[in-house]
Structure formats: C-alpha cells, structure tokens
Structure 1
Amino acid sequence: MLRVMLVDDEPPARRSLRQLLAAHDDIEVVAEAASVGQALALMAEVAPHVLFLDVELLDGRGFDVIRAAEHRPELRPLHIVFVTGYSRYAIEAFDVEAMDFLLKPVEPDRLTLTLDRLRRRIGPAPVPDEPAPARARSAPERLLVTLSGQSLYLPLDAIISVLAEGDYSRITIGSGQSYLICRLLGQFAAELPSPPFLRLSRSVIVNIGSIARVVWRDGGRARLHFNDTAPSLELGRAGTRRLRQLSATHAGLGEAPTLHMG
C-alpha cells in the first residue's frame, strides 16, 4: 500500500483528490494538512511515501515543506507530486526533483499516469493483507482523542473497533458507546499498537483481542461479534480475506484470540 498525504489549504481540493485516489486499491490517504507547519508535524507522525503538495499554503509555500524536510532525516526518502492551479511553478517544481506536476482540476487519466510513475519509482506496494509489524511493548495504554473541545483518554483494551467515515473515524468501545473523531483512519493505524489492533481493510481497524465470535457468511463476507453490549461488525470481502488469513496464523500473533466459526 502506497501511503499518501495531501497538503492543500483548500478543503474542496483535498476532497476531490482524495476521491480520485480512492479508485486505486493500492493507494491509502493517511493524512491531510493545510499548512507548512501541519504538514511537517503529520509527516513525522504518519510517515507517508508520497506528498501531493500544493504550492501556495496558509503559512508559506509547498517548497518550504521540501526544504524543511531536507534537514530532517526521519522525513526522507519522500516523493513529491505538486498539485497546483499555476503552471508557472513547473520549472521550480522539477528543480527540487518533484516526481510530477499536476494542474488543477486534476484529470483521472492524468492522475493514473502519475501513480504509475510512482509505482515504478517506489517499487511494488506491500500486499494489503500482509500482517503489520509488531509494535514496541512500550506502547501507551490509553488513546488520547479530542471531542467537542474536550480531551478524552480511552483505555486501549476498551476499544473494539475504529471505522473510517469520510474525513472522520468512529471509535467504538466495549460498552457499545461510540465517538466520532475528526482524524483519518490512517493516523489511528499509525498510533495503535499492533497486535492487538489490526487493520483489516482500508476502512476498518479491529481489536482482535475483543472478538468473541466470527460468523463466516456467503459471498466472501463475515460478521464479527464482540460481547452482549457492543454492536456486531460486518466485514467486506477484503476485510474477510485478511481475517481468514489471521485465523489460520493467529498463533504467531501472540495476543490474538482463537477465532471461532459460527
């Protein structure tokens, strides 16, 4: 999966590009930023492979992001695709060795060419169903989220799932209560310890330690059951495929439960 970050100070432009990228199964938008400062902070957190970068941002220019990243080894290597409404920046973009230069509004066919170039340069993306590497044992025991101006500390062992809902993510805990958080799912995937949290698809993260029962359904789907108070969760084909792989290899995951078929 190629991890992509969008940097543009216009939300409609980010939304449009994110929708175009969603047509490509091996592309994952892990974060969005509207300024140089936000971009640098998120880059360090989510480690994208590619920046789709506008030139004119709220607090500077896209070139400022590139210059700042050059002095921070943890932010490299990084591939840049400029996305702007001004063709006059093309020469300057290629002077900083950008992979490509797209003019707004971005055409789907033109974006496909750009992604093909990125795949050739970066190499094949990791298989989406490949289990994530284990995190350090020093992972935090609580997850800090912001909701309606309040900071909430959710115990990790209480969280059963995190689901993508557009620009938001919905966290559900064992009591059945859920919280809609203004953060992309990719940011939670980078923060939550794995195991027990595993990303089963582009839109679903599940705490496998909280699964009580799995019902395998026709059509390559499955439904996860947790406890008497938490709602069950229907998985699509991609999530079910990965779950089957995990049920066959769960002994190697250490903290994963035995997955029962129902």
Structure 2
Amino acid sequence: MSGGSGVSGGSANAAPLRALIADDERLLREQLKSRLASVWPELEVVAEARDGAEAVDRADALRPDVVFLDIRMPGLSGIEAAREILALPRWQGEIVFVTAYDEYAIAAFEQGALDYLLKPVEPQRLAQTAQRLKSRLGASRAPERMPPAEQEAALDAVLERLMKLQRGLETGSGARAQPLRWIQATAGNTTKMIDVNDVLFFRSDEKYTRVQTKEAEAFIRTPIRELVPQLDPQQFWQIHRSAIVNLGAVSAITRDDSGRQRVHISGHPEVLEVSRSFAHLFRGA
C-alpha cells in the first residue's frame, strides 16, 4: 500500500500511541502487525498475546492505547477479555475486535458501535479504522469514548448475539441439532452414562471437565467451549469460561464483597462464580 494512504502521526512532541495485538495464530498477529506498520507507522506495537487471559494481563501491565482482540481464542474469548480489560482501574484505551465471522454476525458489532476488523484484514479497511482511532485518541490522550455503562451494554449485546449464532438459534441459520441427552463420563475405572437432567453443573480445569450430579462426580475430556453448543440453552447456562450450570439446580444468586455474583446449587455445597462476561444473565440478582 502506498505511503499516501497511511495515517498521520499527530504532534511531533507527543509520545507515540501504543498497541497490543492478541490472536492465537502467530501468522495472523504478524500479518496485522505488518499492515499496521504500513497504514499507521507511528503506532508502536508494544506486545502480543496468544490468548485472552494473556491479553488481559498485558493490557493491565502495559496500558496500551489500542488493543486488537481476536474473537476466538483459547480460554477467554476476545469478548470476555474485552470485558476484563474495560474493568481495569483507570482504563483509557480503545478496543478493536478482529473476527472471521461473516457479515451476518458482523451486524452485531455495527449495531453496538464497536470497532471491528474482518479477517483477512484489508489494508484499506485497516486504514479507516486507524483514522477513527486517531481521531478519538488524539494527542491529548483524552479519548471521546462511549461512557463505561454504554460500552458494557454494547458488549453484552454482541456477546448475546454471538452466543445465539454459535448455538444456531438465529433466524436463517439452519435447524439446531437436538440437545445432548446423555453424557458418557469416567468415574474412577468405570464409564458411566449420565442423564444430562441429573447434572448440577460442569466445571473445567486444564485437562478435564467435571460432571457433577447430586450423588457423585465424573469426568469428560470435552472442554466447556465445545460442550456449550451441545446443551439445551433453556436449561444450561455458561456462567464462566470454566463453568456451566443447570438452571434447575440453582437455589440462589448472591454477591460477595467485591460485587461478584455467586451461584448456589441446591443440595450441593459448592458455590460457582459468575464472571463479568456473563453477569448480564443475572442482572436482577
């Protein structure tokens, strides 16, 4: 792309604007970094992240002016990472989502007035986004951003839309497969067939997902992100990147001293935390 299509750098005395790129694909990070160097050479890419959790940590440590977040990343998704970043004390940066979703899903971002880039990122579209970011950030570093409450509402709308798309519930997306009826899980040396209606909750660690019933626990290798679309969304809600709860087993929703929501399970002592990404599910709690 010719130099004339780039974005000007502002005052010569102003410190350069700084960016973080988060994507689990190294080649895509490098491609975006290269194209940013072409259309916005004054922008300094100070760090890269391979997943959502790493993006949150680096955003907290470095406080970049712009964070480019891939939507689909292991662990925290881009949407979930954005919510965590927006919650950082005195956060003053801008967030841009990078997504491979089609135009139908992109409407969720447009309606929410959020910045996004569609993969593969085209230089002309990237230049337009860069120009908008420069305009909002400005040399004074006092961005004219949406108020925090509006940003959070916009993210909630996008998250809900994308979750519906994932589950095949949007109009025109085709018929959704029948929800999972039985879970084949391991308990010690025994393989058990568990009726999903008997499951109180699912909870994951790095290797396994625990299937908890009133009587016992068992384990499966299916991660939460793959389990969610197989379950009936009217019965099971994901409340954390590592937890899904059976709504019929919920006895109460409480808040701790920090304002975090907690889900209490009927007939079971374990209490499940609701992450900020899913707090909108229990707005009245």
TM-score if structure 2 supplies the norm length? 0.41
Larger radius of gyration between Structure 1 and Structure 2: 2
